[in-house]
Amino acid sequence: MLQFPVVLFDLDGTLTDPKEGITRSIAYALESMARTVPDIDDLRFAIGPPLRDSFATLLDTSDTQAIERAMHHYRERFSSIGLFENAVYPGIPETLAAMKSAGYKMLLATAKPHVYATRILEHFELSAPFDAVYGCELDGTRQHKTDLIAYLLEQERINPTDQPTVMIGDRVHDIVAAHANGCEAIGVTWGYGSASELREANLIAHRPADLANLIANNYSRTA
């Protein structure tokens, strides 16, 4: 009997393109704090990593109160407008449906708060293939992907040594976090990570349609 691995999916830059919503909400936060707003394209670096880390860079501060003020202003806009300023990458719905039909256990693992991630999946009709959604808490708990995946594995009682587990994502944080938890990693090139970021990935996918075959051919095994 063929055993498929557990598959963890990143959200931003992997399933959907969130550039407009994230960058415009960051710009709104900076404006609200009377800070200089960079060009929108210069805010692309903030798509994927923990947002508090990005605000620390943008504000050039480690002052947690200032960072939390920025987060508050960001969410003023993002929670009602920004999270839907988003687009599903072509081929993603078909890929998710095919992998689910094939018998994969599929989990979302995003640095975005799970309350937002759940709404995004529902809005774009991507919820059905996923067995569960994992994201950080609004207070920042598990905002770093390594901590998030560790928590996910514990909650789902998954041991990557016994059951192959593959993280799919577009940024270095996805790759590092997967390996830190004993998981494999597939980097995707249609998101926001550079080629150098993805060089530590076990495999690379250049289009969503490649994912099912990459996993079936490299990580499935006879039980």
pLDDT tens for each residue of 57-67: 999 999 999 99
Whole-number pLDDT of residue 4? 77
Higher pLDDT, 166 or 221: 166
Least confident interval from 2-6, 97-101, 130-134, 207-211 = 2-6
pLDDT tens for each residue of 115-164: 999 999 999 999 999 999 999 999 999 999 999 999 999 999 999 998 89
Count the neighbouring beta carbons within 10 Å of the beta carbon of residue 76: 15
Prediction pTM value:
0.93
Angle, helices 211-218/92-102, rounded to nearest 10 degrees = 30
153: which 2 tokens? 């594995």
Does the active-site annotation cover 42?
no
Whole-number pLDDT of residue 90? 97
Whole-number pLDDT of residue 220? 77
pLDDT tens for each residue of 151-200: 999 999 999 998 899 999 999 999 999 999 999 999 999 999 998 999 99
Whole-number pLDDT of residue 70? 97
Q: Are 3 and 44 in contact (CB under 8 A)?
A: no
Q: Between vectors from CA 29 to CA 27 and to CA 30, what angle results, nearest 5°? A: 65
Q: Are 186 and 201 in contact (CB under 8 A)?
A: yes
Using CA atoms, how far apart are residues 174 and 39, in angstroms rounded to an integer?
Answer: 26
Catalytic residue among 10, 12, 17, 174: 10
What are the b/e assignments for 6-27, b being 16+ CB within 10 Å? Answer: bbbbbbbbbbbbbbebbbbbbb
206: which 2 tokens? 């250049």
The percent of residues in the chain predicted with pLDDT above 70, rounded, is 97
The values of phi and psi at residue 71, to 5°, are: -60, -40
End-to-end C-alpha distance for the chain, whole angstroms = 6
- 3-state secondary structure (DSSP) of residue 176: helix
